[in-house]
Each structure stands twice: as structure tokens, then as C-alpha cells.
């Protein structure tokens, strides 16, 4: 990063933000009837209207200059080329190779990884076909009716959310179940409704070392044993997807049933690998191929489009603008789509595990804030829950509204209402309501003037609250691929600006270690070891509640 130029550009943006702060979005729209035309773009079937951000054309230029000075183009190219940009683990970051449409070599340590990717994909396709065509039989000769997916974090959210999002495309395959949580209630409830003879278990764990996944896998294996299934027969019922092949084999899964992953795929970027097998089981191999194609097209767009017409660059830089120059600490994703209801949780993990960091690539602590809190829920439900705060609360929360334009149903009137609600929310956030407007309305409705003055204070809404609206025709596998890749690259862009390694996650380690310590203390009530007084108090309560 050319630090001096970068700092100059940052300062320019700071000065510019003071100018922009004095104008209201309402006025910016009134003074330029073509504002939406100049501050929107379409690519890969996605339309982004970013005109409802507190920006001018100059802001966009300055933000793009900042991206340039952070060497975004060079860093993006280094990622695609397989440079070890995950510097704390000395790893390449190549989820993009998993969806590359041609066989152009991609080198890791001088070895072309494309043949391995192809081989694993063909193997996944073969198993998916066998299961979906009812040729994969359980130990007692019955075909598979249910797939139980065990995994957590990136080994869970991608397959789960994609499968949910593409419900209209889920046809013909076995029923999918996902269990991530160590809370035995979930596994218990799911297993209660399954039959071991017709259940296939997919253990998804890159490390094959994750407490939740291994414990759920062991309990599920025991469930098979309790039913009378032998160790040898488990072969017909367990598949693993992992980069720790030997550990998966030691668990009892035959080598043939272990699908490899690689160090150069981060967990939260892994749905494009064999980790995505549940998606292919649900929608078929053709649908999975289209999902990959959508992501690949977005990759191409990210690589080739000039910054000002580049969806992930624009979304990333607008996020930086709102977060670093207007102090917005959180960012909401509001899909107006029942099928996309899980999408905020998916992006939450991808974004917060990637950029929730304070130490820069140069090993220095950041001087700006990084990684906004990502949250959200589907519209219109959120309107009756937290939108009150979005409109009148003291925190400004930038929003991404996400709206598929064409419905996947024929329920009369629903889609028009859904879309109208979505568009109305961004308009309301943008324009707000002045005290005068509220007062005039109240008086016109017959309220006495003195009271109207008071009540108008409660009804006034500041407006000037930023949002993007992303639309696309239909939520197809292809389009979902583009949408996910868009957010992946947006996160990358922001990581570059904040000078972070977006691909490690050391912050989750200490909690795991302390969790293991505390677990061992639970089983040893007479140990003389002592923890802090709060942990001791909680342990005592736990032991007390569970004493027989
Ligand atoms: O939460 C930390 C994490 O390592 C995630 O990054 C990952 O997706 C998840 O745990 C599961 O890890 P694994 O696939 O190795 O079981």
C-alpha cells in the first residue's frame, strides 16, 4: 500500500464528508432528477441502486481513488493468481478456482490445482447421481430418503442457506437436515424422525477437529450402533468432506467416502467445494453447476470492470464510507424474500469472521475501525420488529435491501405488496418526515394546534439514512451464485482498505481452548484447580442443578 497517497486520500474523504454532511438526501434527489440513473448499475443480472447513499459524484471519485491507492487491483489479482495472501497461515485463497469455468492452470506452490478440483467435482457428481437416482443403498438394501448434514460455521451455513434459498429448485432428491449446534436438543429432535436404514450422514469439517461436529458425528454413529448397524455397514451411511483425510478415516469412514478439501479454501468460502454436496443433493448437479457459473461470472466482473462500474468495489467502498466517515457501526441486510431469510446470517459469518480484526497485515494495530456488525432479517417481518429503530433511533444503520423481482408462486397480490413495502422502506429512510410535515398533517386531521406541535415531535423522522437496493429478476441458482460472490468480494475489498488478512480467524481460538478447560473441570468436581470467581460460581450452579 502506498501509505502516503492512501493517507492523503483518506484525509480528502474526511474533509469531503464534512461537506456532504450538510446536505440531505431529500435535497440531493430534488436537485437532480437523474440521480438514480447516475448512481446505479447492472451486471451479471444484478441491479444495484446506490443513489440513496449520502454521496455525490465527487464522493464516488474519491472513494475509487482511495481504493486505487490501497492497491486494490493488484491485491485482487494476487488473490486470483494464488499468491499466499493469507499471511498468518501462509496460504493461498482460491475459492474462486473452485468455480472457474475453464481449465486454465491455477498454481499453488507451482502445482496446477485445476485437475484436483475437477476430479473431486466429478466424484461429487457421481455420488449425488447415485443418491438422487436411488442407486446408493443403505446397509439393508433400502434407498436413501434423508441426508443428515453435520457441520458448523462455514461447513454449515453455505449449504444450509443455499438449499433454503433455492427451495423451488429442490426436486427429486432426499430430504436434507442440518445440525450444527452442540446443543443435543437439535440432534435429538432430528434423529427422532429419521430411520438409520435410509439415512446418509455427511460430515463436513475442513479440520475434522471441531468439537461440535465431531460430537454430533459420534452421537449419530452411536445411534446407528444402537439400531444394530455394524462398523462395516456404516460405510453405506457416512461420507466426510475434509482436508484432514486421515482423521476422517480414523473415525471409521472409508477412504472412498472421504472427499478432500484444501488449505487454500477458507471454511466460510467453501460452499463451492465438496462442502456444497448437500446443495447438489438437493437441487441436482445441473443446478449446482449453474450456481458455480453465476459466481464465476461475478468473479470475471470483479476482475475486469472499471472500479466505478464494479459492483463489489462500489458496495465495499460505500460500506467504508458509511462506517469510517459517518461512524455507522452496524450494517443491515434486509432481503424481501422468504427464501433469502437466512442470507443475513450467512453474510454475517462471512463478513464478521473475515474483517472483525484489529491487527493489520503489517502487524500494526489499526487506527480506524473495521468490520461493522452485520445483521438483518427478511422483510416485511422486520418492519414490525426493528425498523422503528432504523427510522427514528439514534444510530444510523446503512441497509442493503435485496429484492427478487419475479415471484416463484402465483399467490394473487403478494409480490406487488412485498415489493411495494421494500421500495417504500428505502424511500422512507431516505426522505424521512419533517416536523412541519408532521404538524401540518395532524392539524389537517383536526388536531388542536398546541397538541399537534407536541405530537409532531414524536412523528418527525430524520431521513437521510443510507441504503442500497439490489434487485434481480429471479432467485435462480445462477443468480444466487452471483449474489454470494458479490458479498465475498465486497468483504475482500473492505479487507484491503483496512489492510487486514480477511482469511484467518484467530479470534475464535481462545474460546475453544478455555471451553475445553472448563469442560474438563465439569467432570472433576473435586479438583483443587481454581478459575476466576465468576466461572467458579457458574460451575457450582451447573453442578448443583445436575446433581442426581
Ligand atoms: O469458527 C471457526 C471455524 O474454524 C470456521 O471458520 C469454520 O467454518 C468452522 O469453524 C468449522 O470448521 P471445520 O470445517 O474445520 O469443522
Q: Is the CB of 210 under 6 A from ligand 1?
A: yes
- C-alpha span between 12 and 61 (Å, rounded): 11
Q: Which helix (H) or strand (E) holds 180?
A: none
Each residue of 370-420: pLDDT tens digit?
A: 999 999 999 999 999 999 999 999 999 999 999 999 999 999 999 999 999
Ligand 1 atom nearest the C-alpha of 155 is: 14
In the Cβ-directed half-sphere of 138, how many Cα atoms lie within 13 Å? Answer: 19
What residues does each domain of the chain span?
7-70+305-428+465-504, 110-289, 432-464, 507-546
SS3 113: coil
CA of 151 to the centre of ligand 1 (A): 8
Distance CA 120, CA 237 (A): 19
Contact 237, 144 (CB under 8 A): no
Kindly tell me the sign of the dihedral angle through the C-alpha atoms of 312, 317, 318, 322.
Answer: positive
- H/E stretch holding 48 reads strand 46-49
Cβ(273) to ligand 1 under 6 A? no
Question: Is residue 2 predicted with pLDDT exceeding 90?
Answer: no
What is the rounded distance in angstroms from the CA atom of residue 278 to the CA atom of residue 177?
Answer: 9
Q: Calculate how far, in angstroms, residue 513's C-alpha sits from the geometric centre of ligand 1.
A: 14
Instruction: Find out whether the beta carbon of 265 lies less than 6 Å from any atom of ligand 1.
Output: no
What pLDDT is recorded for position 1?
60
- Given a contact cutoff of 8 angstroms between Cβ atoms, the answer to whether 49 and 468 are in contact is yes
434-467 pLDDT, tens per residue?
A: 999 999 999 999 999 999 999 999 999 999 999 9
Cα–Cα dist 451/469, whole Å: 38
CB-CB contact of 397 with 332 (8 Å): yes
CA distance 298 to 310: 10
pTM equals 0.97
With a 6 Å cutoff on the Cβ, whether 153 touches ligand 1 is yes
Architecture per CATH, domain 7-70+305-428+465-504, reads as 3-Layer(aba) Sandwich (3.40)
| Helix H or strand E segment including 40 | strand 40-43
**17 Cα distance to chain centroid:** 29
Q: What is the torsion angle, in degrees rounded to the nearest 10, for the CA atoms of residue 341, residue 300, residue 275 and residue 354? A: -70
**Does 35 score more than 70 pLDDT?**
yes
428: number of Cβ within 10 Å: 18
525 — pLDDT class (breaks 50, 70, 90): confident
Q: Please write the tens of the pLDDT for every residue from 283-312.
A: 999 999 999 999 999 999 999 999 999 999
For the CA of 213, the nearest atom of ligand 1: 16
Residue 207 CA: nearest ligand 1 atom is 15
Nearest-CA residue for atom 2 of ligand 1: 508
User: Which letter does DSSP use for residue 489 in this model?
Assistant: H
Residue 42: predicted pLDDT? 98
- Residues 412, 415, 421, CA angle at the centre, nearest 5°? 130
Mean pLDDT confidence for 225-249: 95
Distances (CA, A) of 269 to 114, 353, 492: 17, 11, 11
Catalytic residue among 197, 353, 378, 488: 353
Active site residue 512: yes
- In this predicted model, what pLDDT tens digit does every residue of 111-147 receive, in sequence order? 999 999 999 999 999 999 999 999 999 999 999 999 9
Q: Examine the predicted complex and report whether its ipTM is higher than 0.90.
A: yes
Nearest CA to ligand 1 atom 13: 205
Q: Is residue 3 pLDDT above 90, yes or no?
A: no
Atom of ligand 1 nearest to the CA of 353: 6
Share of the chain above pLDDT 70, in %: 100
Question: From the CA of 240, how far away is ligand 1's center (Å)?
Answer: 15
Predicted pLDDT of residue 527: 83
Residue 155 contacts residue 204 (beta carbons within 8 Å): yes
| Strand extents, DSSP E, 386-512 | 399-404, 467-472
- Confidence check: pLDDT of 526 > 90: no
Does 7-70+305-428+465-504 match 110-289 in CATH topology?
Answer: yes
What mean pLDDT is reported for the chain?
A: 97
Catalytic (active site) residue 353: yes
State in Å: Cα 527 to ligand 1 middle: 31
110-289 belongs to which CATH class? alpha beta
Predicted confidence band of residue 104 (pLDDT cuts 50, 70, 90): very high
Residue 95: pLDDT band (50, 70, 90) is very high
Bridge partners of residue 379, in order along the sequence: none
Of the candidates 492, 147, 483, the one whose C-alpha atom is nearest the C-alpha of residue 335 is 483
pLDDT tens for each residue of 329-344: 999 999 999 999 999 9
Average pLDDT, stretch 511-535? Answer: 90
> Catalytic site residue 188?
no
Asked if pLDDT for residue 243 goes beyond 80, the answer is yes
**pLDDT tens figures, 43-68:** 999 999 999 999 999 999 999 999 99
CA of 210 to the centre of ligand 1 (A): 7
The 10s digit of each residue's pLDDT in 167-204 is 999 999 999 999 999 999 999 999 999 999 999 999 99
Q: Which of 362, 365, 430, 370 is nearest to 399 (CA)?
A: 430
pLDDT one-digit tens code per residue, 466-503: 999 999 999 999 999 999 999 999 999 999 999 999 99
For residues 518-534, average pLDDT: 88
Confidence (pLDDT) at 474: 98
| Closest by Cα among 498, 490, 396 to 52 | 396
- If you average pLDDT over residues 93-106, what whole number do you get? 97
Q: Which of 538, 80, 469 is nearest to 311 (CA)?
A: 469
**152-174: pLDDT as tens digits:** 999 999 999 999 999 999 999 99
User: β-strand 238-242 against 467-472: which pairing, if any?
Assistant: unpaired
| Average pLDDT rounded to a whole number, residues 73-82 | 98
Mean pLDDT in residue range 17-46: 97
Amino acid at each position: 500500500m502506498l501509505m502516503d497517497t492512501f493517507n492523503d486520500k483518506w484525509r480528502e474523504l474526511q474533509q469531503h464528508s464534512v461537506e456532504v454532511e450538510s446536505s440531505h438526501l431529500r435535497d440531493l434527489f430534488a436537485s437532480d432528477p437523474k440521480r438514480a440513473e447516475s448512481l446505479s448499475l447492472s451486471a451479471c443480472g444484478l441491479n444495484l441502486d446506490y443513489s440513496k447513499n449520502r454521496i455525490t459524484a465527487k464522493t464516488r471519485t474519491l472513494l475509487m481513488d482511495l481504493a486505487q491507492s490501497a492497491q486494490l487491483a493488484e491485491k485482487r489479482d494476487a488473490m486470483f493468481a494464488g499468491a499466499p495472501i493469507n499471511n498468518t497461515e501462509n496460504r493461498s485463497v482460491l475459492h474462486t478456482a473452485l468455480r472457474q469455468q475453464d481449465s486454465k492452470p491455477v498454481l499453488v506452490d507451482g502445482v496446477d490445482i485445476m485437475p484436483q478440483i475437477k476430479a473431486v467435482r466429478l466424484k461429487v457428481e457421481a455420488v449425488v447421481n447415485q443418491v438422487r437416482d436411488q442407486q446408493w443403498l443403505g446397509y439393508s438394501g433400502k434407498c436413501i430418503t434423508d441426508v443428515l448434514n453435520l457441520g458448523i460455521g462455514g461447513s454449515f451455513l453455505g449449504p444450509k442457506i443455499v438449499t433454503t434459498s433455492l427451495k423451488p429448485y429442490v426436486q427429486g432428491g432426499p430430504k436434507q437436515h442440518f445440525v450444527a449446534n452442540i446443543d443435543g436438543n437439535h440432534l435429538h429432535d432430528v434423529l427422532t424422525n429419521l430411520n438409520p436404514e435410509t439415512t446418509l450422514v455427511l460430515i463436513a469439517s475442513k479440520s475434522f477437529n471441531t468439537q461440535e461436529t465431531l460430537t454430533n458425528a459420534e452421537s449419530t454413529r452411536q445411534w446407528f450402533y444402537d439400531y444394530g448397524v455394524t462398523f462395516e455397514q456404516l460405510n453405506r451411511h457416512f461420507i466426510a468432506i475434509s482436508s484432514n483425510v486421515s482423521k476422517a478415516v480414523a473415525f471409521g469412514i472409508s477412504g472412498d467416502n472421504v472427499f478432500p478439501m484444501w488449505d487454500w479454501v477458507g471454511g466460510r468460502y467453501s460452499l463451492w467445494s465438496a462442502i456444497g454436496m448437500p446443495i447438489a443433493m438437493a437441487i441436482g448437479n445441473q443446478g449446482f453447476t449453474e450456481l458455480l457459473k453465476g459466481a464465476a461470472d461475478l468473479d470475471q466482473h470483479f476482475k475486469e470492470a472499471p472500479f466505478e462500474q464494479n459492483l463489489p468495489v462500489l458496495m465495499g467502498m460505500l460500506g467504508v464510507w458509511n462506517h469510517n466517515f459517518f461512524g455507522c457501526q452496524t450494517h443491515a441486510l434486509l432481503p424481501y424474500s422468504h427464501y433469502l431469510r437466512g442470507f443475513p446470517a450467512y453474510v454475517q459469518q462471512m463478513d464478521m469472521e473475515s474483517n472483525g480484526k484489529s491487527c493489520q497485515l503489517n502487524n500494526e494495530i489499526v487506527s480506524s475501525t473495521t468490520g461493522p456488525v452485520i445483521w438483518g432479517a427478511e422483510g416485511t417481518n422486520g418492519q414490525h420488529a426493528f425498523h422503528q429503530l432504523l427510522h427514528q433511533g439514534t444510530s444510523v444503520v446503512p441497509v442493503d435491501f435485496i429484492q427478487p423481482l419475479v415471484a416463484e408462486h402465483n399467490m394473487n397480490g403478494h409480490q406487488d405488496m412485498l415489493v411495494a413495502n421494500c421500495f417504500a422502506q428505502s424511500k422512507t429512510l431516505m426522505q424521512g418526515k419533517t416536523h412541519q410535515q408532521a404538524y401540518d398533517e395532524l392539524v389537517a386531521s383536526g388536531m388542536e394546534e398546541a397538541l399537534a406541535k407536541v405530537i409532531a415531535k414524536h412523528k418527525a423522522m430524520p431521513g437521510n439514512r443510507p441504503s442500497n437496493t439490489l434487485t434481480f429478476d429471479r432467485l435462480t441458482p445462477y443468480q444466487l451464485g452471483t449474489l454470494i460472490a458479490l458479498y465475498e468480494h465486497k468483504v475482500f475489498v473492505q479487507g484491503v482498505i483496512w489492510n487486514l488478512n480477511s482469511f484467518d480467524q484467530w479470534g475464535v481460538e481462545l474460546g475453544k481452548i478455555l471451553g475445553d478447560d472448563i469442560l474438563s473441570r465439569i467432570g472433576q468436581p473435586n479438583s483443587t484447580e481454581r478459575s476466576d470467581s465468576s466461572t467458579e460460581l457458574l460451575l457450582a450452579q451447573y453442578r448443583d442443578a445436575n446433581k442426581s
